[in-house]
A and B are shown apart, each in its own frame.
Chain A
């Protein structure tokens, strides 16, 4: 009977219930599959393609599993998971901040995220521009990159970032501005070259 249920059509809450209460591993795998790409993209954006990034993605899902029974369904499951992803990544950044040295070719990852449409002038410009932005972002300090990614790319409101990182809104806002300023400076230099 259980096998006849099409898991793809079940909502996140039901999948989580099935995993927790019926030990249904397929339901859990379906839930992980739904969010793996998004979580991985966020982690890689924040951390860069470091050797630790893949481990952090794994750690996010382990943390999600550990905290699964604390999810109260009063917000979307994706919000709950997102919080875990950001907090786990932030913890990892703090842990390894002294050794976050990415190789220049690693940032190609974000380029690979883009769709594989045939290259025309416009898409080449887009790709080149994205590469330049990513290279510049790589040179930001982990703290600045974190807030910039969360605010500008993930679209998380300031007060939520402030709550996640347990830092005042003003501090977060000023760090975002510093990051943007530095990014613009880096990009202007790249363009001149």
Chain B
């Protein structure tokens, strides 16, 4: 049949195009077999942490490696050397991991941060009130007995308790709470208090995003807000009683903040904001967007100001005007697009162009369902 037609480059292109859209189907068994085999190779977070811990003892292996070929020692002799080395580790020169161990009450003076633990990962477990944990890009202060299941540089898992987190701006930091909530942090200071399935998050600065894992509902908490979450998908923002209870935190110690001209516009803008000079802060954030190195952060701050003013038309306009800034941001891109989209809806912009762009860019995100609903409502 085909031999009656001449195969030309256009038809070749057509063939390629057809091929592009072809995805074969495989049996579930075949896929599960591949998944099972590869699962064994995953570098699980706990194992990686253990490997890191083992590095503290690696000099035994180093001795073994160096001396065995050089001296031609027998296995028995190596064992003696290793034994000697291990005895040395017990004399306090090297900290065994149990020093910061699970369920061992910690004397107040023994704050983890007081030790030089650059090579020693922090063991999870129950931490008493007053314990301070210093991570490369975050500091955690335990405010009430807290049970940590996992502590790594940018990832925490807690089962219960209350702790204050200070995270360096721009760090992608995550906290899983009892496998029920995921708290995503975009550089900020906040406390988490979790007990009886209820999570209270209070944000002092920056932005925290709380994801209820069962319902996949995401709530963004800007600075000076406090909210209670339950794992049944309800939060109590609207409750009068709780609104009273979780009254936004008042500014304190900020009135005397001094502007520091040597710093970036972003820094100065934040200082101005702390000092209550919103107008100046807006100008400074605009300057950072136009000339600074961190335009995305400045845009985020600016959008937050307009959010408090409920000026949604301005937020939508900012999001449209600074599309390139949003696209260039790793940390704030998704959040700014969501804010732009919601603001378009609230300000009556029926094009909902930002919402559509968001769906194209993040089709499977937690917020995609919510954004689809916004578009469908139209």
**Which residues of A are at the interface with B, using a C-beta cutoff of 8 A?**
1-2, 4-5, 9-12, 14, 17, 19-23, 25, 28-29, 31-33, 36-38, 40-41, 45, 57-58, 61-62, 64-66, 68-69, 73-74, 110, 112-114, 121, 124-126, 128-130, 132-133, 152-155, 180, 183-184, 187-188, 190-191, 193
B1 and A21 contact, CB distance less than 8 A:
no
Secondary structure at chain A's binding surface: helix, strand, loop or mixed? helix
Give the residue name and chain of the A residue nearest to B5 (CB): A125
A20 surroundings in chain B (CB, below 8 A): 42-45
A61 and B38 contact, CB distance less than 8 A:
yes
A32 and B1 contact, CB distance less than 8 A:
no
A132 and B9 alpha carbons, distance in the complex (Å): 14
Query: Is B7 part of the binding interface, using a Cβ–Cβ cutoff of 8 Å?
Result: yes
Further pairs besides A11-B364, A37-B24, A61-B38: 10, Cβ < 8 Å: A32-B34, A36-B34, A37-B23, A37-B26, A62-B37, A65-B38, A68-B43, A73-B172, A124-B1, A188-B7
Query: Is B22 part of the binding interface, using a Cβ–Cβ cutoff of 8 Å?
Result: yes
The interface stretch among B10-18, B72-80, B273-281 is B10-18
Secondary structure at chain B's binding surface: helix, strand, loop or mixed? mixed
Q: Closest CB-CB distance, A127 to chain B, in whole Å? A: 9
Q: Closest CB-CB distance, A75 to chain B, in whole Å? A: 10
Q: Closest CB-CB distance, A9 to chain B, in whole Å? A: 6
A143 and B7 alpha carbons, distance in the complex (Å): 24
A-B contact pairs, 19 of them (CB 8 A): A2-B179, A10-B216, A21-B176, A23-B44, A28-B39, A29-B32, A29-B35, A33-B35, A40-B26, A45-B19, A57-B34, A62-B41, A110-B19, A130-B15, A130-B19, A153-B19, A180-B9, A184-B9, A187-B12
Give the residue name and chain of the A residue nearest to B42 (CB): A65
A133 and B12 contact, CB distance less than 8 A:
yes
* Contact with B157, one of A1, A21, A28, A37 (Cβ below 8 angstroms): A21
A130 and B7 alpha carbons, distance in the complex (Å): 11
A121 surroundings in chain B (CB, below 8 A): 1
B179 and A36 contact, CB distance less than 8 A:
no
A154 and B20 contact, CB distance less than 8 A:
yes
Query: Is B250 part of the binding interface, using a Cβ–Cβ cutoff of 8 Å?
Result: no
B34 and A58 contact, CB distance less than 8 A:
yes
A36 surroundings in chain B (CB, below 8 A): 26, 30-31, 34
Could you tell me which residues of chain B, from 316 to 352, have a CB within 8 Å of some CB in chain A? 330
